[in-house]
Amino acid sequence: MTTATLSIDLGAIVRNWQALDATSTCETGAVVKANGYGLGAPVVGRALVRAGVRNFFVATAAEGATLRAAIGNGPVIYVFSGHMDGDTGAIRDAALTPLLNSVDQMLRHVEALPGAPFGIQLDSGMNRLGMEPGEWSAVRDIAIAQGPVMLMSHLACSDEPDHPMNAQQLGAFHEMTDGLDIPRSLAATGGTLLGTDYHFDMTRPGVGLYGGLPFIEAEPVVTLDLPVIQVRDVAIGESVGYANSWTAPRASRIATISGGYADGLIRAMGPRATLYAGDVPCPVVGRVSMDLITADITTLGHDPSHLQLMGRHQSIDTVAAAAGTIGYEILTQLGLRYERVFSE
């Protein structure tokens, strides 16, 4: 079998959600955008529903429609991109709750689907999505008369607890929403860990559910085992891979594994990445290519059937550091060629 196995521990996802839920007394939602951070939104969503999750967040209406088909009626599905042109059918048919970002979106929503639920996204300083304070104060009374089910905003620096931006955005969000008696949500994973001041009525963690930073205590969720296709001896002074980028400093044994940048194994990680054969680290040598990676197994003493990239020895964030990126990107790039195996 030349397909890598991506093992996904649904039990760990549920326990990570429960651990984040236990930090607050408010509702805890679950962000499953980008196909559940690359792991499979339908399966992850169903596991979270079984664990009692009632509120989900996705990025787009199309993601919401896919999730609705998987989890059935009942849970609320919020859509961060709001109600865009062309979304009306999906929002209606899948009973989605768009988080409206602008006056234009609000007009579109109340005209197309009068009486259909919606929330409002406010910009507390990140300058990415949501109504800005001036716009909000101009339309606030009209908007509230339409009965929004949630007022939300998003923190720009919540993975840095000491960053002054956190308190600044908290203050701005209070200013825009205090006294309105509408449920509020500000915190993603990072904000959830900042403490009760940031929790309001609902937290909405994403990456922490999947075992990523900034949730340091998260249980790991993914294991990635890559099959070895071929093993060879390389003499001292011979080179391996594209552009001869690695030259054997000694007689070496090199394993070629199935998996490359087309599977989300980011090419830039090559010079710093390590694979594992059981407990033994096997450094990646040569370039990461589209479908293949070469690793030095000289010290191993036997030819393994698989090498592991993520799992017991290496987290998504360790791999991310080798590639100069963040765990979020490693997760959401996980390849479609992998066989995804879910365990409870």
Ligand X SMILES: *Cc1c(COP(=O)(O)O)cnc(C)c1O
Binding site for ligand X (CB under 6 A): 31, 33, 80, 154, 188-190, 204-208
Closest residue to ligand X: CB criterion:
206
Q: Shortest gap between Cβ of 62 and ligand X (angstroms)?
A: 16
Question: What sign does the CA torsion over 90, 95, 100, 103 have?
Answer: positive
- Chain centroid to Cα 129, Å, comes to 18
Residue 41 has phi, psi (to 5 degrees) of -60, -40
Q: Shortest gap between Cβ of 327 and ligand X (angstroms)?
A: 9
Q: Shortest gap between Cβ of 188 and ligand X (angstroms)?
A: 3
The residue (of 189 and 274) whose beta carbon lies closer to ligand X is 189
The three-point CA angle 68-73-79 to 5° equals 45
Q: Shortest gap between Cβ of 124 and ligand X (angstroms)?
A: 11
Q: How do beta strands 339-343 and 97-100 pair?
A: unpaired
Closest Cα partner for 204 from 184, 189, 182, 214?
Answer: 189
The residue (of 29 and 270) whose beta carbon lies closer to ligand X is 29
Confirm whether 261 is a catalytic residue. no
Beta sheet of 55-58, edge-to-edge order: 30-31, 55-58, 76-79, 97-100, 119-121, 150-152, 184-185
The residue (of 57 and 338) whose beta carbon lies closer to ligand X is 57
The residue (of 98 and 206) whose beta carbon lies closer to ligand X is 206
> What is the Cα–Cα distance from 2 to 308, expressed in whole angstroms?
14
Q: Shortest gap between Cβ of 59 and ligand X (angstroms)?
A: 7
What are the structure tokens assigned to 12, written together?
A: 């760990």
Confirm whether 198 is a catalytic residue. no
The residue (of 34 and 90) whose beta carbon lies closer to ligand X is 34
Q: Return the amino acid letter for 177.
A: T
Point out the catalytic residue in the list 37, 210, 242, 276: 242
Known catalytic residues? 33, 242
